[in-house]
Each structure stands twice: as structure tokens, then as C-alpha cells.
Amino acid sequence: MNDPFKKNAKLVLANGTVFNGYSFGATGKALGEVVFNTGMTGYQEVMTDPSYFGQILVFTYPEIGNTGINFEDSESDKNIVKGIVVRNFSNNTSNWRSKLSLNEWLKKNNVIGLFGIDTRALVKILREDGSMNGIITNEDISIEGCKHYLNNFPDMKGLNLASKVSTTKEYLWDHFDSDFSYGKLSINCKKEKLKVVAIDFGIKKSILNRLSYYGCEVIVLPFKTTIENVLSHEPNGIFFSNGPGDPACVHEGIKLAKELMEIGNIPMFGICLGHQIFGLALGGKTYKLSFGHRGLNHPCGTDNKVDITSQNHGFALDADSIPEDVAEINFLNLNDKTVAGLRIKNKPIFSVQYHPEAGPGPHDSDYLFNNFVSLMLERC
């Protein structure tokens, strides 16, 4: 254990606030937008969610690491967080599925960790002043040196990070993990699998697993694929995935969504960034939230129906910018009334801001995959 009188690492925020703590994981420095997640479980899935790419993640739950890391639950193999900040981390793992300690995994994946700081005070700053850039370092860099790095680091607004995390090659996903087969199928799947083209803006493995579980053969395409390539696969449905960065900068995805919506007879489903892209394709606008929605307990719904949802996003659709004659806002985040769901009128196209795959997390909204498959079956 580090000598408590010799704190060997620090976090410096863009507003000048400094937190001194102890280092674990990789060595060096990491710059990124500092955000917080309020989930009490699933730190492995959170750290490997491509939507956190380019960010430094603060866990509000006070102790992280006690169940270690396994080889099954990662949402991505390489598109992961830049750094993590925790109140305390446990290097003493206890779980029958564990293969590595959190510390070992961080070193292996070059993720810098900081512990031993007051994460409550840090989160309070982020809630009051908004998410901001920061730097974690366990190197001998002065405070002024850290500020210099931050002054030359870009803000999240204006960044197309989907281009950094999307697959570069087309691939087929037609299997799912048996450990992830919660719930029951409520559809009558055809013997021949439904074919879904998924546009990858930073897709999570859990989403691919849910689509497979519901009887889909999934062809994953890069974020800048063309409509000609999509249609060449003769899909029963088209899926737009989650992903990091500013949605307004994903011009290729917005163009593709608009072209597909004009066709209008192929079922389409979007999650998170995919949902925002759908809204932008309709002529809507997005804006950056002060500190985002990142956690497992966000209530969403309308008309006396509420789903408890898992969320991870820093941008949202402007409700007033969505054309009422074209689309219906059918879900709201009940904490702040931001747009949480869209449905295109008279077309089999819908999207949600939250994560119905929720692995781990609440499963209230898993039925949305069933709805997507039902729309496809109606047109087979």
C-alpha cells in the first residue's frame, strides 16, 4: 500500500481544482472529459462501454474492484475509458468468474487509476459546474504543466468520436452468451433468422447479444457505410447503435438515417447516439447536457407507464426542434423531462435515449427488442 503521507498522483480539472490521491493501474497521464456514473454494479461493463471512449470516469459508489475482472462481461475489447477515479479500490477479489484483479486489468489496458480522494466533493463540482476536461497523472508534472496540457485539449462538444471506435470492417454476429439470456421470448421466430444490419457508432456487445437472442442474424457495418451497402444485404431491419462524442458531428450517420427514413418501409431501431442521429435526421437539434445522464436508475415514460432505465450520454435532443407532424416524443426522462424516446409517425421507426440491453442493469425496457422484431416479422 502507498504511504498515506506521500500521495503520488493527482487529478487537475479545467477549472483549476486539484485532487491529490494515490495511483493504481497504468502509469503516465490521461486527459479527457471527467464524468461520473452513479451505478452500484457493473464497473467492468461501464469501463468497456465505447460510449465512454475519451473520458475519465468517476465512480460514485465508494469501493470498486471487489469482484475483479472476468473474460465475458466486457462490452468492448479496446474502446474503453482513459482513466478512472474511485474513493477506494479493492485489490482483494472474490468472485468465481474473476480472472484478473482490477489493478491488473488497468495495467494491461493502459488505463490510469486514481483513488483516495473525496469523490463526493468531485461529483458536487461536476454537478454544479458541469462535466469538464481533466488530467490524471502519476508523473512528476507540475500543476501549471497540467493546466498547459488542458488548455490545448479539445472539448467534447464538436468531436466525432464514432469515427474512432467504429469497426473498420464488416462482420457477422449471430450468437449470444447463454449467461445473458434473461427474460422470455414473446415472439414466434421463423426458422430462418431475421437479418439485421447494425450501424456501428460504438456498439456494445450486450446489444448484439440481445438482437441475437431475439432471433436475428446481425451484420455489423462501419459508421460511414453507404445506403447502397446497407440495402445490398436486403435487411429485415436496420439498427443504429450507441457511441461516444457529439452526435451533431456524425454527418455520415445523419445522412444515412435521413436517406433510409425517406424509404420508410424498413423497420429501424436506434439506441442512445443512434436515437440522437434519428432526431437530427428529422431536422432536430442536439445540445450538451451539463453533467449528462450516467447510471442505472433513470425513470422514463409517459401516460402512467414508467421504465427504470440504464443511461450513458452527455447530449440530448431538443424537444422543441422535433417536427410534430413527422415524429412523436413517446418517452421522457422523468428526472428532467429531456427526450428519451421517439417514434416516427406512419413508419416502423423508433428510438430511445436509454439502454434496453442494460447488461447489467434494469431489464424493464427489454421489450423494445421484441417490438423491433415484431415490426420485422409483420413485413416478412
Q: What is the pLDDT of residues 56-107, one digit of tens each?
A: 999 999 999 999 999 999 999 999 999 999 999 998 999 999 999 999 999 9
Same domain, 178 and 327: yes
Between the alpha carbon of residue 67 and those of residues 77, 90, 334, the distances in Å are 19, 9, 32
Contact 135, 11 (CB under 8 A): yes
Contact 87, 81 (CB under 8 A): no
Q: How many Å apart are CA 230 and CA 228, to the nearest integer?
A: 5
pLDDT at residue 179 is higher than 70: no
Instruction: Using alpha carbons, select from 196, 163, 154, 213 the residue that is nearest to residue 363.
Output: 213
User: Does a cis peptide bond (omega within 30 degrees of 0) precede residue 360?
Assistant: yes
Q: How many Å apart are CA 132 and CA 35, to the nearest integer?
A: 8
Looking up cell 418517452, which residue turns up? 331
Contact 201, 250 (CB under 8 A): yes
Reported confidence tier of residue 302, pLDDT bands at 50, 70, 90: confident
Print the domain residue range for 92. 9-151
- H helix and E strand count, the chain: 10, 19
Same domain, 267 and 232: yes
pLDDT above 70 covers what percent of the chain?
94
Looking up cell 486527459, which residue turns up? 31
DSSP-assigned beta bridge partners for residue 218: 173, 196
Q: How many Å apart are CA 37 and CA 34, to the nearest integer?
A: 10
Q: Tell me the mean pLDDT in the region 164-182.
A: 76
Same domain, 333 and 255: yes
Instruction: Answer with the one of 151, 174, 201 that is the final residue of a domain.
Output: 151
pLDDT at residue 4 is higher than 70: no
Q: How many Å apart are CA 377 and CA 373, to the nearest integer?
A: 6
Contact 56, 136 (CB under 8 A): yes
pLDDT at residue 52 is higher than 90: yes
Q: How many Å apart are CA 92 and CA 331, to the nearest integer?
A: 42
Q: How many Å apart are CA 164 and CA 366, to the nearest integer?
A: 28
Task: Tell me what pLDDT residue 191 has.
Answer: 47
CB neighbour burial string for 310-333, b if at least 16 within 10 angstroms, e if fewer: bbbbbbbbeeeebeeeebebbbbb
Same domain, 134 and 24: yes
Reported confidence tier of residue 3, pLDDT bands at 50, 70, 90: low
Q: Is residue 272 part of a domain?
A: yes
Instruction: Answer with the one of 103, 128, 151 that is the final residue of a domain.
Output: 151
Looking up cell 445473458, which residue turns up? 180
Which CATH number fits the domain that encloses residue 220?
A: 3.40.50.880
Q: Tell me the mean pLDDT in the region 127-145.
A: 97
Instruction: Answer with the one of 97, 131, 151 that is the final residue of a domain.
Output: 151
Q: Please, what is the average pLDDT of the chain?
A: 93
Model pTM above 0.75: yes
Q: Is residue 172 part of a domain?
A: yes
Residue 50: all three cell numbers together = 465505447
Same domain, 279 and 347: yes
Same domain, 147 and 203: no
Task: Tell me what pLDDT residue 74 has.
Answer: 95
44-53, 171-180, 198-207, 250-259: least confidently modelled range: 171-180
Higher-confidence residue: 4 or 173? 173
DSSP-derived 3-state class of residue 242: coil
Over its C-alpha atoms, the chain yields an Rg (Å, rounded) of 21
Task: Tell me what pLDDT residue 5 has.
Answer: 54
pLDDT at residue 136 is higher than 60: yes
CB neighbour burial string for 76-110, b if at least 16 within 10 angstroms, e if fewer: beebbbbbbbbbebbeebeeeebeebbbebbbebe
pLDDT at residue 187 is higher than 60: no
Number of domains in the chain: 2
pLDDT at residue 189 is higher than 60: no
Same domain, 147 and 205: no
Q: What is the pLDDT of residues 303-341, one digit of tens each?
A: 788 999 999 999 999 999 999 999 999 999 999 999 999
Same domain, 138 and 172: no
User: What is the identity of the amino acid at 372?
Assistant: F
Instruction: Using alpha carbons, select from 367, 362, 313, 363 the residue that is nearest to residue 338.
Output: 313
Same domain, 207 and 333: yes
Which CATH number fits the domain that encloses residue 22?
A: 3.50.30.20
The catalytic site residues sit at 272, 355, 357
Contact 267, 237 (CB under 8 A): yes
